[in-house]
Amino acid sequence: MITHRLRRNRKSQHIRDLVQETTLSVKDFIFPMFLIEGKNKKSEVKSMPGIFRLSSDLLIKEMESCMKLGIFTFDLFPNISEKLKDKTANESLNEKGLYLSTIREIKKKLPEAVIMSDVAMDPYSSDGHDGLVVNGEIKNDETLEILGKMALVQASAGVDIIGPSDMMDGRVGYIRDELDTAGFTNVSIMSYTAKYASAFYGPFRDALDSAPKFGDKKTYQMNPANSREALLEAQLDLEEGADMLMVKPALSYLDIIKLLHDNFHLPIAAYNVSGEYAMVKAAAAKGWIDGDRVRDEMLLSMKRAGAKIILTYFAKEFALAQKNRKS
C-alpha cells in the first residue's frame, strides 16, 4: 500500500500554488541597459533580439516604462566611441561625458530609480581589458587607483550601487575605503565576486564594442573549472566591505550560486548574461523551444539556487508577461 502520495500536492493549480517553494517577482530583477551617444538614437544589438543601445533621452523613457511595470533598479553600461578610449580610461572620469552626465540626468528626472554602475576599464580602454595594461601585463595595484577614482565620480553623480566588474585583487576594499573617506558611506557595493572567464559574454561585447584587443581575460577572471576558489573570493569581498555578492554567468554556475548562498549571509546576485539570453531567443525564433516558458524556468532555477537578485535582459518582457497574465 502506498502511504505517501506526493501527487496529492500536485492535483490542481491552486494546490500547486499553495505548496510552491520558490517564486519569481519583478522585484527580484535588475535590468542591464546599454547607453550610446546622441539624441533619439536606438540601435538593436543584433545578437540580442529585443535589446537596444539607447541614447540618454530614450533610455530615460525606457526606464520610466519599466518603473510602471515594477522594475526600479537598472545597471548601466556605456558604448564609448573609439576616439575617446585610451590606455588609462580617462573618459571614465569625464564629468561631462556620456556616462556621468546621463546618471545625473536620470537621478534628476527619476529620483526613485536605483542606479547600479559598472566599474572596470574595458568600456573606456584602448586595450579592451578591465585593468591597466603595461607591456602586455594587466597590472593589479595600479588599476585599483583608476577604479577608485571611477567609483568616486560615479557616486558623486548619484549612483546607488557600485558594481566592480574588473576582478582585480583587493578592489572592493580599495573602493570601499575611497567611498567612505569621501563621505559616500551610504553607497553600496555589489561585487562581481565569482566572475568566470566564460564563453557566454560574446553578445555583451558586441553591444559595447569592448572585446580585448589582444589575449583574453583568464589572468583575472575565474577558471570555469573551479568552485572552491569562489569561496575565497567571497570571503575576501565580505571582509573588504561588499554589500552583495554576484555570480556571473548564472545558468552554468547554479552550483556556485548555491555554494555562496549556503556559506554567506549577504544577498547573492546572479547575472543572467547576454549569451544565455541570446541562446533562448535564437532557439525560440527557430521554433525549437517555447521561449517564454524556457525564460521563466531559467530564471526560476537561479532563484531556487539561492539568488536573491537577478540581473537579466529578460526583466521587462517578464514584467510585461506578468501584467498580461493578471489582466
Q: Is 195 a catalytic residue?
A: yes
What is the structure's pLDDT at 310? 98
Rg over alpha carbons for the chain, rounded to the nearest Å, is 20
Q: What is the mean pLDDT of residues 226-233?
A: 98
What is the structure's pLDDT at 326? 80
pLDDT in tens, 138-193: 999 999 999 999 999 999 999 999 999 999 999 999 999 999 999 999 999 999 99
Q: Is 11 a catalytic residue?
A: no
pLDDT in tens, 105-141: 999 999 999 999 999 999 999 988 999 999 989 999 9
Question: Quick check: 92 pLDDT over 90?
Answer: yes
Distance in angstroms (rounded) separating the CA atoms of residues 160 and 151: 11
Do the Cβ atoms of 67 and 33 come closer than 8 Å?
no
Ordered by where they begin, the domains of the chain are: 26-213+225-244 (3.20.20.70)
What is the structure's pLDDT at 240? 98
pLDDT in tens, 266-299: 999 999 999 999 999 999 999 999 999 999 999 9
Alpha-carbon torsion (146, 153, 127, 131), positive or negative: positive
Catalytic, out of 85, 195, 303, 316: 195
Q: What is the mean pLDDT of residues 212-235?
A: 93
For the chain, give the number of residues: 327
Distance in angstroms (rounded) separating the CA atoms of residues 28 and 23: 10
What is the structure's pLDDT at 296? 97
Q: What is the phi/psi pair of residue 184, to 5°?
A: -95, 55
**Omega of the bond leading into 203 within 30 degrees of 0 (cis):** no
Distance in angstroms (rounded) separating the CA atoms of residues 46 and 44: 6
Residues above pLDDT 90, as percent of the chain:
92
> Could you tell me the end-to-end alpha-carbon distance of the chain, in angstroms, rounded to an integer?
45
Question: Quick check: 212 pLDDT over 80?
Answer: no
What is the structure's pLDDT at 203? 84
The DSSP-derived string for 66-115 is: HHHTT--EEEEEE---GGG-BTT-GGGG-TTSHHHHHHHHHHHH-TT-EE
Distance in angstroms (rounded) separating the CA atoms of residues 44 and 33: 12
Catalytic, out of 217, 248, 281, 316: 248
Do the Cβ atoms of 176 and 189 come closer than 8 Å?
yes
What is the structure's pLDDT at 300? 98
Q: What is the mean pLDDT of residues 34-38?
A: 96
210 — pLDDT class (breaks 50, 70, 90):
low
